[in-house]
């Protein structure tokens, strides 16, 4: 990171580092360079590790660091299509070529509020790629975390042809199914959080929405009864960004 003249707090996990690198620069072209920094570093470490384990090579950290730089520049120039400058020019003037004078900042992932001690929070979301109101390719995602923010479980599912309400209901169902399948979760205080007011209303009220959701909602309610203390609530999209990302990946 010092190569880019940027100071940052060290990430606790590789996942956090990836999300941080991909959100450091708001401009799309420059963001490609930041994303390539993560992949180039991981790839270089992996190649060095394989050389050491399988071919008995010693790791030269100066060479490895330079390889990261060359890979970032090469990928940024030829695959990211981010610059028409020569490779050597980008290498020598990386900050000017890739970040310009744009203020570098961490992209906000929304405000996620940790649950109380001994409570687990399962954020879920559904996503559909297609015109609003029409069926498209759907995905569901969810992440289960404890009061310290530690990720205990996550899922990212491809749902096939779906509409937005179905995707949201299926995401809630998947979360309740995962929890109900774990004996240790029976009787635990678990909050399943969705950013779909419609889906949450269907699960908690006497109505079932459209006919096609009846079976899934019955299963969700059955899982909630089995778990004992698990509830399904609504919260805004701002606090559900991680689950939203997983749903879109699905």
How much is the average pLDDT of 7-26? 64
What per-residue confidence (pLDDT) applies to 119? 93
Distance, CA of 51 to CA of 193 (rounded, Å): 45
The H or E element that residue 225 is part of is helix 214-227
| Cα–Cα distances in angstroms (integers) from residue 224 to residues 148, 171, 174, 190, in the given order | 24, 14, 12, 10
**Percent over 70 (pLDDT), the chain:** 70
Query: When comparing pLDDT for 92 and 73, which is higher?
Result: 73
Is there a single domain that holds both residue 242 and residue 166? yes
Taking 50 as the threshold, does the pLDDT of residue 103 lie above it? no
Return phi, psi of residue 196, to 5°. Answer: -110, 105
Is there a single domain that holds both residue 129 and residue 201? yes
* 175 contacts: CB under 8 Å, gap ≥ 6: 122, 124, 142, 144, 155, 192
Is there a single domain that holds both residue 133 and residue 71? no
| Cα–Cα distances in angstroms (integers) from residue 147 to residues 44, 50, 138, in the given order | 35, 38, 30
Chain length of the chain: 250
Q: Which of 21-30, 115-124, 162-171, 227-236 has the lowest mean pLDDT?
A: 21-30
Taking 50 as the threshold, does the pLDDT of residue 132 lie above it? no
Query: Encoding tokens for residue 28?
Result: 């799309």
Q: Which of 44-48, 112-116, 193-197, 228-232 has the lowest mean pLDDT?
A: 112-116
Taking 70 as the threshold, does the pLDDT of residue 175 lie above it? yes
Q: Write down the mean pLDDT value for the chain.
A: 78
Scanning the structure block, which residue is given the tokens 């060290």? 10
Is there a single domain that holds both residue 139 and residue 37? no
The answer to whether the CB of 1 falls within 8 A of the CB of 10 is: no
How much is the average pLDDT of 100-127? 69
pLDDT digits (tens, 9 = 90+) for 43-70: 999 999 999 999 898 888 888 888 888 8
Is there a single domain that holds both residue 244 and residue 164? yes
pTM: 0.56
For residue 184, give the CATH number of its domain. Answer: 3.30.420.10
107 is a domain residue = no
pLDDT digits (tens, 9 = 90+) for 217-249: 999 999 999 999 999 998 876 567 778 888 888
Q: Which domain holds residue 43?
A: 2-98
123 is a domain residue = yes
211 is a domain residue = yes
Is there a single domain that holds both residue 144 and residue 75? no
Last residue of a domain, one of 65, 98, 131: 98
DSSP, res 184: G
Distance, CA of 88 to CA of 121 (rounded, Å): 49
Number of independent structural domains in the chain = 2
Is there a single domain that holds both residue 94 and residue 123? no
Is there a single domain that holds both residue 148 and residue 243? yes
Question: In which band, very low, low, confident or very high, does the pLDDT at 92 lie, cut at 50, 70 and 90?
Answer: low
Is there a single domain that holds both residue 144 and residue 218? yes
Taking 90 as the threshold, does the pLDDT of residue 112 lie above it? no
What per-residue confidence (pLDDT) applies to 32? 63
Distance, CA of 232 to CA of 200 (rounded, Å): 7
């Amino acid at each position: 990171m010092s190569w880019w003249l940027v100071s940052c707090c060290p990430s606790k996990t590789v996942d956090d580092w990836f999300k941080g690198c991909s959100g450091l620069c708001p401009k799309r072209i420059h963001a490609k360079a930041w994303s390539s920094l993560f992949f180039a570093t991981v790839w270089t470490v992996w190649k060095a590790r394989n050389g050491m384990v399988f071919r008995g090579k010693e790791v030269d950290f100066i060479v490895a660091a330079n390889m990261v730089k060359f890979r970032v520049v090469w990928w940024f120039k030829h695959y990211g299509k981010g610059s028409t400058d020569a490779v050597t020019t980008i290498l020598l003037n990386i900050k000017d070529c890739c970040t310009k004078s744009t203020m570098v900042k961490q992209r906000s992932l929304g405000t996620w509020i940790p649950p109380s001690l001994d409570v687990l929070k399962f954020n879920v979301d559904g996503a559909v790629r297609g015109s609003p109101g029409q069926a498209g390719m759907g995905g569901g995602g969810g992440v289960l975390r404890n009061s310290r923010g530690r990720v205990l479980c996550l899922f990212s599912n491809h749902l096939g042809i779906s509409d937005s309400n179905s995707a949201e209901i299926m995401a809630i169902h998947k979360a309740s199914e995962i929890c109900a399948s774990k004996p240790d979760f029976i009787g635990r205080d678990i909050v399943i959080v969705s950013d779909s007011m419609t889906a949450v209303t269907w699960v908690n009220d006497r109505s079932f929405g459209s006919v096609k959701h009846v079976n899934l909602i019955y299963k969700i309610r059955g899982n909630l009864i089995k778990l004992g203390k698990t509830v399904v609530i609504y919260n805004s999209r701002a606090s559900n960004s991680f689950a939203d990302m997983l749903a879109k990946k699905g």
